[in-house]
Structure 1
Amino acid sequence: MRFGTVSIVGRTNVGKSTFLNAVLGEDLAIVSPLPQTTRDTLLGVVTREDAQIAFVDTPGLHEPKSELGRRMNLQALDALRGTDAVLFMTDTDVLLRGSGTKPPEIAAEDRDIVARLPKETPVVLVVNKVDRVKNKPLLLPLLEAWSKLHDFRAIVPTSVLRDDGVDRVLDELVALLPESEPAYAADTLTDRPMQFFVREYVREQILNATRGEVPHAVAVTVDRYEEGRIPRIAATIHVEKPGQRKILVGEGGAMLRRIGTAARKRIEHLVGKHVYLELFVRVTERWKNAPRMLSELGYETTDAPEPEEPRRRARPRRSP
């Protein structure tokens, strides 16, 4: 039996959270087409007959334009410390942008991430979204270019959405893990408390329902989570400008109801019972650049506190 931690790193929108959901068999991490969808690290535990892998999904590394962005990058880089292996994910965008008449060049963002990879930690490279490349022979020069950039233990082309290559990625990672007993019960899915998922699922619906500056201007705090036959939840959506609040509330509160209904269904699927969700919208100016406010909203720069009691599959509970 093998056990170890694997950090999932890469730039934004390459499919890191989609991969985590695929191997967990549960849509735990939020996913959207917008960059910087993932703001926090998320532990996801995969248990097989021969191994248990504690994956750590991380925010996409990017050029930060705010204190929030800087803290997101720090979270991602911090996740590389002390991990048993790294899953570095990229995609085939360079081929889609190129003419196909000259060798592909690795994007500067990807090169920067490779330069930050710990030299003592084995890395598996996953080249995602190969299904979008119609001319498959173009993939070979891309894979060769990657092989010259770093001493990867394996390079695996995948299409996570089509479940193509995912099992091979797991096999390559398991081979890198030390022999050890599992650290989590076999049915453990994550160690995040339920408030974390309430926050994320409300924000996910905002990402799906709004456009422009609004999706990136919001943060969510959970004001109340009362257990019971029907859990009662109250959460506040923070925006930076009154105009953004107006958009989120909508005419006669229609937009806020739409967001709340969709988020409630997401939460109910995870906890396995009905919940009561009440949402509020508040203008919190410049929250993305206020260190104290970011800390209050949960975006810390220091090491994370000790995790809550591990959550079992599809049953996250409220933290004490």
Structure 2
Amino acid sequence: MPTLALDARALEKLVSAAVAAPSIHNSQPWRFRLQPDTSTLEVRADRSRAVPAVDPQGRALHISVGAAVLNLRVAARHLGWAPEVRLLPDPAEPDLLAAVELDASAPVPAPGTEKLYEAIWHRHSIRTPFTGEPVPPAVLDELATAARCEDALLHLPDHAETERLLHLTAEAERRNTADEAQRTESRSWIRTGEVPPYGIPATALGPQDAAGHLPMRDFSAIHAAEHHSPSLFEREPRIAVLATEHDAPRDWLRAGLALEHVLLAATVHGVRASLLDQAMEWPYLRREARDPHRGPGHVQILIRLGYGPEGTPTPRLTAGDIWDST
């Protein structure tokens, strides 16, 4: 039986799971603090690793932190707790994005916890081509259910809508590489030589689509020698649209929870993913990404799903690096 002692060993497991979450440019913009009197683990924004040119409102930062909170919740359930997650618990502390109370044990494990926990250590963003094998409808339905569990929606656009979204993504990618501030910021997160435990290692950069159909982010608008040779990507990419009803910081956090829940559920089924978030970085294009036939809603991110290699993890900060002892 798992121990419920909130000791250093348990905290290291919880935080190690949390920091395995995806974050914009692998910036890992989070810090953790324990309030021992209430057995509450606080998750705070670390603005020193923000990406202001790409994310001036902090929307992507909130999504990143929300994904870490989902992993933290899964890990807490794995260890035997019944965690209570409160988002934005104190209006006087806007950088306190979540509080996870760990003062109660769970009588029985939440369904699916063990599979999701194992998936934390195997989930990686895949920037290389997928095989083109379609994801079964039953798996896609399960991913949509995972998003609904976090008060978000996962839409599966048809062929015409997918083409429209890819066109918007391509336009955003052109803007990203033409805009000096965004281009410079993106380059600054590429790590060459001795790699620090955050950012994008040059070895993790993927190729561009030789057919020009699937607009992958070109982090390496940097040095031609670091570009991969173009490759042919899947002809019919399966794009999923993650959306929320509203568009405030709490909704961005919920989008992060939903994103990671979807990604872990996909990993359980051997489905790989990469994120197409370029259009989300330009307000007009993000508004255009909403499908008018679905009524109100706010698109938070596009997810590319398919089959391919598991990939390798990008560097992660250690628990000591992101632990707040004050």
Instruction: Say yes or no: TM over 0.5.
Output: no
Higher RCO, 1 vs 2 (CA within 8 Å, ≥6 residues apart)? 2
Bigger CA radius of gyration: 1
User: With structure 1 as the length reference, what TM-score do the two structures score?
Assistant: 0.28
User: With structure 2 as the length reference, what TM-score do the two structures score?
Assistant: 0.28
